[in-house]
Structure 1
């Protein structure tokens, strides 16, 4: 992970708004309809070029393809692994949503449903489709060349074994732990492919925090921490041949506008996160429920070789942060960490984690990223001048 001795670099968490044409095609394919493969490929190519160009326009330094070809930040893996079938199974509700059923029914009618159709493991999993990640990387590089933009660094996101194990069903493995490590064994192929191409690997692992109030809401805190630790071990196993400085870890409390009063405290889990063999951490901060969590880093200082990308733009509201607010947040983090060169500016989470589901309006999402960049410039003037 690169850093600058002159300014705070900007990045984002991975998913960016897709074009309406691409969303329509992904929806149709997801519903089981036949679509023209050439039409989809062309739509993905155009959307990727647009995402690359707009990242450059709003001032992003460390960029990616915006996950344009994926229907979601984690469910894409069912297309790359063999051993899944589609079934309708129960889905666990968020504990905070359960506490406010009237609001939940209005705000999340699809979430509070008792079941959903999703991939279920029915056989031993095997990673069989390296061509998709290769195509993503090649499309991104072609888009960079086509638009003649320059980025300081590029990254590719990949779902963690744990978040996949929490998001899909399992009718084959004896336990969720066994399921998680089977996924680690197979996802290693994708992780290593990304790293071999010289890209920074971003492991998306929201489960390390968000599953405390969802899948594992009935566990004690200590039991959940033990589960999170096992999931870190799975990540480390899957990335054991990749240099830690080439990996950044993202985790969060769930990218939805809910009460979040059941979220686990970062202070309780941060030492567990530090057991990851990575070079940096992307964590929520702009979320008002967690705006105090900088204190956790005073109690548990950032490892010496790590970079920190605190979220300084909220992705669950259409309010565009003032650049001065962004700058103030970054300066606070520079003070907490003690070295502004180890800080990156980022949003809390992805801005389009599921195709077609926008918490933030697409154009406002880009305006938020522009405010992020302006705020980073402001903070850099304060911290490096």
Structure 2
């Protein structure tokens, strides 16, 4: 049974098994091919579901076991993008990467993740969440030689994402999450068209929608960037008021061990808040009381019935045992606070 208060959730990735991809390596190539790869991905998803269930996670994700990269795995299934034609671009103004090129009108011929989502749905009776890349983050992970406009390309991607999201909903997905780490970088674009494009991706959905905005995996490029941000990270101050007025149901943010002032959560009052209470940049495993303390302090700015304890971001680069122990800490910390809230009502 999913608890009425403080249902826990992962944000995105979990470590992949060593027989599927290189451990502790982001975006590692697959070790299997063909039918063996399909079977291996399904086996990895089964493990991810089982471990989340054993560790007390209430809203189950696939752990991105079927995806090599959280953005490009979706893009590689679209027409109009040439993966052989590579260009080097600056990703989120932080690091250089070789990326595919948009060479024509982008188009989705067939569903990308729907079969995988249906497999996840059949693997658990708990609520499930599926993650998709957000339009702005997709734009920032390509070289555009066709539209020559970040905004135009974002709107095209938003329409494609909406098509995919509607089919994920039909496959039984309860929450569809759009990952938009670019929202913490391109603040003017967020205001000009970023939130509007995100709403287009969510249009007409009955499933709950979420947007995840974080400061990235614990890789050197991200930790070096964070070191330049000063004593307070106030980027959410720009996007949260816009999201509070948007049609998006849930706002997911990085919190634990970050320099985000907790009072910024007040800016999305009325929305559900998926609050990151597990650090993904440090292998030290939080204690349940540390998790409970992060969540407890957040209750000054979000109602308990709208708080969803989660991780700051994905945990793919961690040793598997570290990630699993962090999941246990998340659920145990939520349980502490859940009990406190129950006692306060007596």
What is the TM-score when the length of structure 1 is the normalising length? 0.80
1:1-385 to 2 correspondences below 5 Å: 4-5=3-4, 7-23=5-21, 27-28=28-29, 36-86=33-83, 87-92=85-90, 111=95, 114=96, 116-130=97-111, 132-144=112-124, 150-151=125-126, 153-199=127-173, 200-209=175-184, 212=185, 216=186, 224-243=187-206, 246-257=208-219, 258-259=223-224, 260=226, 261-262=228-229, 264-290=234-260, 293-298=261-266, 300-303=267-270, 306-337=271-302, 339-352=303-316, 358=317, 360-385=318-343
The superposition leaves residues 115-150 of structure 1 with CA deviations (integer Å, 9 ceiling, x where unpaired) of x332211010001131x4221112213433xxxxx4
Q: CA deviation at 1:94?
A: 6.1
Q: Unmatched 5+ residue regions in structure 2?
A: none
Q: CA deviation at 1:156?
A: 0.9
Q: Which has the higher helix share?
A: 1
| 3-state SS, counterpart of residue 90 of structure 1 | strand
**8 Å CA contact retained: 1:3, 1:341:** no
Q: Unmatched 5+ residue regions in structure 1?
A: 98-110, 145-149, 217-223, 353-357
State the alpha-carbon separation in 1 of the partners of residues 171 and 262 from structure 2.
Answer: 34
Q: Cα 1:275–1:169, aligned 2, differ >3 Å: closer, same or farther?
A: farther
The superposition leaves residues 210-252 of structure 1 with CA deviations (integer Å, 9 ceiling, x where unpaired) of xx2xxx4xxxxxxx33444411111112221113x61111111
Q: Cα 1:179–1:141, aligned 2, differ >3 Å: closer, same or farther?
A: same
| 3-state SS, counterpart of residue 278 of structure 1 | coil
The superposition leaves residues 176-208 of structure 1 with CA deviations (integer Å, 9 ceiling, x where unpaired) of 111111111222211111122231111111111
Greater Cα shift, 198-207 or 306-315: 198-207
**8 Å CA contact retained: 1:323, 1:371:** yes
Q: Cα 1:20–1:9, aligned 2, differ >3 Å: closer, same or farther?
A: same
Q: For this pair of structures, how many residues does the alignment match?
A: 330
State the alpha-carbon separation in 2 of the partners of residues 48 and 345 from structure 1.
Answer: 22
Q: CA deviation at 1:384?
A: 1.8
State the alpha-carbon separation in 2 of the partners of residues 88 and 36 from structure 1.
Answer: 23
